[in-house]
Amino acid sequence: MSTPRVLVLRAPGTNCDQETAFAFEQAGAVACCVHVNRWLESRWLAEDYQILCLPGGFSYGDDLGSGRILANQLRHHLSDSLARFRDEGKLILGICNGFQILVKSGLLDSADACGPAVTLTWNASGRFIDRWVGLRVASDRTPFLAGVERMFLPIAHAEGQFIGRDEPTLERLEQAGQLVLRYCQSKSCPKQPFNPNGAARDVAGMCDASGRVFGLMPHPERFIDRTQHPQWTRLPAFEEGDGLRLFRNAVQYFA
């Protein structure tokens, strides 16, 4: 098995890059945290990597909206590099702020002649939400979720409500199997509303048509060890956190 190299892209305000790199390393990859300015200086920098990850945090302080500034940098200055990276059969992952960047940069290929088909906007409550949620895999479209049925992961976001342009657009994405991850009721949080932000069709994650570009709002890097579970001392023993499977799937994709 080859050892894939992961480029964890960071920018001012990114704060989950180290945890994400650690999660990939625990799954068997070699991970490097790279500032976006280094990539802008050397457009061929990503050629040495097989996986690109846009981690969580608040890139550029989310000053113009979550992920908007970094998404514009990628779209206007690195679009050729990103297209080449994707066309070579490599993987791209966006977590929380990274998912917002994927949507707003066009990397998920969700736009059409009428404009953006989907977006991520303010939670229905209008407030920042920080809690754990139940998740179910609704499609086998992406290799990141191969063999996964359910997960229990933390979320932490203010602009995580997934919405579509209209119902026909959502139905088209549904039929294509791109709405791959949904919020669902969890035994660990029976009294909490299972859809925390009002997302359309309970969507927590989406992939592109190829399945190799995947974004999700929950944080898998925050649950790779059993001791990170909020109730780990009261649960039967288990070996690892639910999030680790996602990173291991990415590594095994290049076996």
Instruction: Provide the annotated active-site residues.
Output: 96, 219, 221
Closest CA to 90 of 206, 225, 251, 200: 251
Contacts of 217 (CB under 8 A, 6+ apart): 96, 99, 120, 155, 157, 160, 162, 197, 204, 205
Q: How far is CA 92 from CA 14, 39, 53, 105, 113, in A?
A: 17, 16, 6, 13, 24
Is residue 98 within 8 Å of residue 71, measured between CB atoms? no
Closest CA to 40 of 84, 6, 70: 70
Is residue 6 within 8 Å of residue 254, measured between CB atoms? no
CA distance linking residue 125 with residue 167, whole number of Å = 22
Per DSSP bridges, beta strands 150-157 and 181-184 are unpaired
Strand, coil or helix: what is 8?
strand
Which two three-digit tokens encode residue 211?
A: 């399945």
